Amino acid sequence: MLSVIEPIVVCVGVLVALLALAAGLVWLERRLLGLWQDRYGPNRVGPFGLLQVLADMIKMLTKEDWIPPFADKPIFVIAPAVIVFTVLMSFAVIPFTPHIQVVDLNIGLLFVLAMSSLGVYSVALGGWASNNKYALLGGLRAAAQMLSYEVFMGLSLMGVVMLAGSFSLRAIVEAQQGLWFCVPQFPGLVIFFVAGLAEARRIPFDLPEAETELVAGYHTEYSGMKFGMFFVGEYLGIVLVSALTTVLFFGGWLGPVLPPLVWFFLKTFFFICLFILIRGTFPRLRYDQLLAFGWKVMLPLALLNLVVTGGIVLAKS
Amino acid sequence: MNGYLPILFIFLVATFIGAAIIVLSTLLSRKNWTPIKLMPYECGMDPIGSARRRFPVRFFVIGMLFIVFDIELIFLFPWATIYDKLMIFGFVEMLIFVLVLLVGLVYVWKKGALEWQ
C-alpha cells in the first residue's frame, strides 16, 4: 500500500512546491533586477514586498476574463493551460534527491525533451487563436525559434548520455560521483544553457514577446489569469531548465556535508539567478540573428562536441 | 507498465491544475465589455483587415528543417546509450552519420534557406 501512496504524496508535494516556487520567482526576479539596476523593486506589500505575489495573484484572478469574440474560443482558452501542463509534466522525472522523485523512467531525458517540445503548441496556438496580427507574429516567431533551438538542445545532451550510458536522470546523476559532467562536457553545457534560454523565451531570445515591436507577442489578447498562466509557464520553464542543468551537468543532489535536497536547491537557485542576471544585462537579438546563430553556430558546434566526445571516450577505453 | 502509473497520476493532477485555474478565473472575474474592447488590439488604431493573412514562408522552411534534423537526432539517441559497447564501430558509424548530416546542413546553408532576407 505504501508503495502506491508514496509516489502520489511526492507528486502532489512536487506540484504544489513548484507552483509556489513559480510565484516566489516573480518576486525574486523583480527584487534582483531592482538590486542590479540600482533601484528598489517591490517593497511595499508585506515584509520586503513578499506579499506582492499574493496581491498580484488576487488582482489577476479578479481582472476581466477576456475571451475576444473574434478569437478561436476553445483553442484560445486551452492554449495557456497547455504550457502549464507540459512544464509540470516535465518535472515528473527530475530527481530532486535519491528519494524524492515522482518516477524514475529509463527514458527520463527523452520524456523531458518530449514534454518541453509540446510547450511549443501552447504559444503557437495561443498566438494563432487570438486572431490578432501581433499575436500571430509572436506565435509564429515562438514556434520557429523553439523548434530551431530544440534541435541542438537534444544534440548537446548526447555527450552526457554517452558518458552516463543511460537516459535515466537518476543514473546520470549517479554517474557524476567522481566528476561533474560540466568539466568533460563544458561545450555541451554552454550549448544546452543557451538553448534553454531560447526554449524559455527569455532575453536575449524573447523575440516572441518583444514589447518594442509586438506589444506582447502571442499573449497580446490574453488577460487575467489566462495571461497569468503564460507567465507561470514561463517561470516554471526557467526552473525546469535550471533544474535540468543541475541534474545533467552539476551532479544534481551530489555534494558534501549538506543534505542532498539543499544541494539540489542551491545549485538550481544559482542558475535561476543567472537567468535573471542575463535578463538584467543583455539586449534583445534581431530575429534573423537569432535563427542564424542557432543554425550556423550552435548546430555545427553541437555536432562537433558530439564527435569530439565520441573520440575522447573511445581513446580512453 | 507499472512504472508509468505515477506519470498517469501527475498527468491527472497537472490537467486538474490547468482546468482549475481557467474555471477559477472565469468565476471570479468581472465582465464589463464595451464595443471598443471587442476589437482586436492594434495600438489604438482601427484594425485593417483580418489577422488571417499570408505570412512569410520562411517559418515553414524552419519547420521542415526541424523535422529533418530532429529525426536524425532520434537515430543518434539510442546509439549514444550503447556507445560504450559499440566503441570503434560505433564511432565510425557516427562519423559517417554526422558527415551526412553536415552535407545536408551545408546544402541547406548554400541554398540560402538559413537566410532571413
pLDDT digits 0-9 by tens, A272-301: 999 888 888 888 888 888 888 888 888 888
User: Mean pLDDT across the stretch A182-193?
Assistant: 87
The answer as to whether A10 is a domain residue is: no
Return the closest-CA partner of residue A245 out of A152, A118, A157: A157
pLDDT tens-place string over residues B78-102: 888 887 777 788 888 888 888 888 8
pLDDT tens-place string over residues A75-127: 888 888 888 889 888 888 888 887 777 777 888 888 888 888 888 888 888 88
Selected residue with higher pLDDT from A48 and A271: A271
Return the closest-CA partner of residue A197 out of A159, A124, A248, A148: A148
User: Mean pLDDT across the stretch A34-50?
Assistant: 83
**CB B23, CB A65: distance < 8 Å:** no
Instruction: Answer whether A300 touches B (CB < 8 Å).
Output: yes
User: Mean pLDDT across the stretch A29-56?
Assistant: 84
pLDDT value of residue B58: 82
pLDDT(A3) > 70 = no
pLDDT value of residue A4: 66
- Of the given ranges (A23-37, A196-210, B62-76), which has the lowest mean pLDDT? A196-210
pLDDT value of residue A1: 47
Rg, chain A, Cα only: 20
- Mind giving me the DSSP string for A7-22? HHHHHHHHHHHHHHHH
Nearest CA in chain A to B1: A105
Q: How confident is the model at residue B1 (pLDDT cuts 50, 70, 90)?
A: low
Question: Is A133–B21 a contact, with Cβ atoms under 8 angstroms apart?
Answer: no
**Cα–Cα distance between B50 and B38 in angstroms, integer?**
14
DSSP A201: T
The answer as to whether A79 is a domain residue is: yes
Nearest CA in chain B to A115: B11
pLDDT value of residue A221: 79
Q: pTM to 2 decimals?
A: 0.88
**ipTM score:** 0.83
Angle at A22 between CA A284 and CA A130, to 5 degrees: 60
3-state SS of chain B is: CHHHHHHHHHHHHHHHHHHHHHHHHHHHCCCCCCHHHHCCCCCCCCCCCCCCCCCCCHHHHHHHHHHHHHHHHHHHHHHHHCHHHHHHHHHHHHHHHHHHHHHHHHHHHHHCCCCCC
Which residue among A11, A77, A291 sits closest to B10, beta carbon to beta carbon? A11
Q: Which domain holds residue A81?
A: 67-316
The answer as to whether A52 is a domain residue is: no
**Cα–Cα distance between B105 and B117 in angstroms, integer?**
19
Number of domains in chain A: 1
Question: Is A61–B25 a contact, with Cβ atoms under 8 angstroms apart?
Answer: yes
**CB A224, CB A63: distance < 8 Å:** yes
Structural domain boundaries of chain B? 2-111
CATH topology of domain B2-111: Methane Monooxygenase Hydroxylase; Chain G, domain 1 (1.20.58)
The answer as to whether A306 is a domain residue is: yes
Which residue among B28, B38, B83 sits closest to A61, beta carbon to beta carbon? B28
Question: In sequence order, what are the residues at sequence separation of 6 or more whose Cβ sits closer than 8 angstroms to the Cβ of residue A81?
Answer: A229, B18, B19, B21, B22
Instruction: For chain A, give the mean pLDDT.
Output: 84
Q: How confident is the model at residue A52 (pLDDT cuts 50, 70, 90)?
A: confident
Report the interhelical angle of A224-249 vs A108-129 (nearest 10°).
160
